[in-house]
Amino acid sequence: MMFNPTDLLRPHLKQLVPYSSARDDYKGKDGVFLDANENPIGSITEENWNRYPDPYQLELKAKLAEIKGVNAEQIFLGNGSDEPIDLLYRAFCEPQTDEVIINPPTYGMYKVSADINNVKAKEVLLTNQYDLDSQALLSAIQPNTKIIWICSPNNPTGNDVSLEKIEIILKGFQGLVVVDEAYIDFADRPSFTTRLNEFPNLIVLQTMSKAWGLASLRLGMAFCSPEIVAILNRIKPPYNLSGLTQRTVLNALNNLEKKDQMVAEILENREGLQNELEALEIVKRVYPTDSNFYLVKMKDAKEVYLKLIEKQVILRDRSKVVLCEDGIRITIGTKKENKKLIEELKKLSN
Ligand SMILES: *Cc1c(COP(=O)(O)O)cnc(C)c1O
């Protein structure tokens, strides 16, 4: 049977007439534009932002397609990854009827977005090694299961889950499989974007918020079949990416070496930090990481977290998260920041 994402769509969206923007009706670049009620004179800012941006970000997608080795038609761009996460619920999950599956401990937005959309998120815990439990996952699938959310490298545990198990899910599930690769630049493996043509039910999420250093600009990427892109385009807010973001990122894509340099520096700092953490008396375990943070289990984690805040070193307390008891998530900082972190942790050990 051919996989067709339209079969999974919420019924009322099959008839949806999407908003038609002025930029949909006329696509030429030159002319006297009296069609969108914009300010014809300019902006109150030094630079002019008075014209609505391209709703489909075609220039940016063309450039990203080259860099990522996918077709431009396989790219959806959102206001952070949080936007495609929400849009996937709104497109495919009927409130109080459909279900998704998440694998705690994992990124919190899959559950929050499910709650906001009044959709049940069934939980299948990761194993004790923080890997997917593919057998339990497959058994949890119901006829009304629409999406399985997989985060790899996983937040907050830091590790890649096993790629063979992701494949088992992609092959064994007739709904959508999202692989969130927010931390892919720090992992030593090819992206699942290289498998898009094999799996029509695959959606790969990436973001400019981490390795690219653009958290404030808000740019999330979903790579998937052109059919799924078309569905997301129909329900998204028309101008979801600002002109400022589009232009800034387009310029930044000519500066790829800087991203690579930053990633290399963070990876170097990551390696150095592991031994220093492991040498501390209060540290019970540093988990292996494929991302830009460590999950560290400590004695009295909550206490450590609070003590470090007093020293203005802010960590992420995960000690109340399932399977993360005593866990603190530590982002890899600069050399200087990491030094400060270790100094303060040493003082606590004494
Ligand atoms: C940080 C993070 C994101 C990024 O979200 P944005 O909205 O793009 O900033 C997505 N997924 C995971 C797992 C993350 O940790």
* Smallest CA separation from ligand 1 atom 15, residue: 155
Ligand 1 — pocket residues by CB below 6 A? 80-82, 107, 151, 155, 180, 182, 207, 209-210, 215, 220
CA of 347 to the centre of ligand 1 (A): 33
- Same domain for 235 and 283, yes or no, is no
- Same domain for 212 and 285, yes or no, is no
How does pLDDT run across 71-110, given as a tens digit for each residue? Answer: 999 999 999 999 999 999 999 999 999 999 999 999 999 9
Which atom of ligand 1 is the closest one to the Cα of 210?
1
Which atom of ligand 1 is the closest one to the Cα of 207?
8
- Same domain for 191 and 336, yes or no, is no
Q: pLDDT value at position 302?
A: 96
- CA torsion angle 115 83 16 50 (round to 10): 140
- Positions of E strands within the chain: 75-78, 99-102, 120-123, 145-151, 176-180, 202-207, 220-223, 283-286, 293-298, 316-317, 327-331
We report the CATH number of the domain holding residue 131 as: 3.40.640.10
Domain range for 34? 5-252
- Same domain for 231 and 301, yes or no, is no
> pLDDT band at 29, cuts 50/70/90?
confident
Q: What pTM, to 2 d.p., does this model score? A: 0.97
Q: pLDDT value at position 205?
A: 98
Radius of gyration of the chain, Cα coordinates, nearest whole angstrom:
22
Tokens 């629409």 correspond to 146
- Same domain for 148 and 109, yes or no, is yes
CA of 86 to the centre of ligand 1 (A): 13
Q: pLDDT value at position 1?
A: 63
What's the rounded Cα separation, in Å, for the pair 71 and 226? 9
CA of 220 to the centre of ligand 1 (A): 8
- Same domain for 169 and 125, yes or no, is yes
- Same domain for 75 and 123, yes or no, is yes
The DSSP bridge partners found for residue 286 are: 296
CA proximity to 51, closest of 62, 36, 63, 66: 36
* Smallest CA separation from ligand 1 atom 11, residue: 182
